[in-house]
Amino acid sequence: MDGQPKLRPGGSKLTHIPGAGVIARVDPWWGLVILVAVLIVILVTAKADPFRNILLFVRHGIVITVFITAMAFMLTLLLGLIGGLGRLSRNRFIYGVATLYVEIVRGIPLLVQLIWWYFAFPVVIQTVGEWLNFSAMANYHANPIFTAIAAFTICYGAYMSEIYRAGIQSIPKGQMEAARSLGMTHFQSMRHVVLPQAFRVVLPPIGNEFIALLKDSSLVSVVAVADLTRRGREFMAVNFNPIEVWTMVALIYLVMTLFSARGVAWIEKKTHIEK
């Protein structure tokens, strides 16, 4: 009968574990990643012109896109942690600064922030340099890639601050109290007890932020960064074939985001702890 322990062939009973089930060894959604990758290969090989030329032309843009996304995400994790802890600080000044940062940055569109950091911020630096009679600042010119990384870090750091704050607050206060009762300082308790548990809680939204950052990296094309989107636009402007160009660019973005999503799901599975 259902729910009753089953017998081995020899007659001995198997140990019944409630809730136990068969866990798939391989994530079936990897098949979608492979399907999109195969589609790209088919387009490049079966119809070499223009898809192969498009891929060769935008390959440097793919590297730039991945570099900006990876660097901005690593810095975002750090800035978000600082902002999240600041939002939980009992110090009014620290809490006020962190809250002001989050509220202001979240209220300005990412595209506007990118344009401001690339076009307006250098003017501010140059003006200050002229006022201080400091030639290095007066002749400052923004580097497109580093400016894009800074803009993404500051923008996504505000959202990541709220993710960290929510994750830390989801951990029962008894965890902190137990760690303090063992003689740990507040910093040690946060580092060794609270944050490791909070990280498991916030891992899914952090993964979503990475995927969103990867897609939003296409916005850097408006500030003279030769990323995947800008390279596709340049190819289309010369060859006048928008269907082929943007189909290939879309498929490349799709395979990168799907691969990232599967990677996040794998990390979640490895760090998951049954309650």
Mean pLDDT score across all residues of the chain: 87
* Structural domains in the chain plus CATH codes: 30-108+143-271 (1.10.3720.10)
Model confidence, pTM: 0.84
What tens digit of pLDDT does each residue of 210-258 get?
Answer: 999 999 999 999 888 999 999 999 999 998 899 999 999 999 999 999 9
Which residues partner with 13 through β-bridges? 7
Task: Give the up-direction half-sphere exposure of residue 149: CA atoms within 13 A in the CB hemisphere.
Answer: 16
What tens digit of pLDDT does each residue of 104-134 get?
Answer: 999 999 999 999 999 999 999 999 999 988 8
Q: Residue 123 class from Cβ within 10 Å (0-12 exposed, 13-18 middle, 19+ buried)?
A: exposed
Q: What percent of the chain has pLDDT over 70?
A: 88
d(CA 263, CA 270) in angstroms, rounded, equals 11
pLDDT at position 99:
96
Strand, coil or helix: what is 240? coil
What tens digit of pLDDT does each residue of 39-96 get?
Answer: 999 998 876 678 999 999 999 999 999 999 999 999 999 999 999 999 999 899 999 9
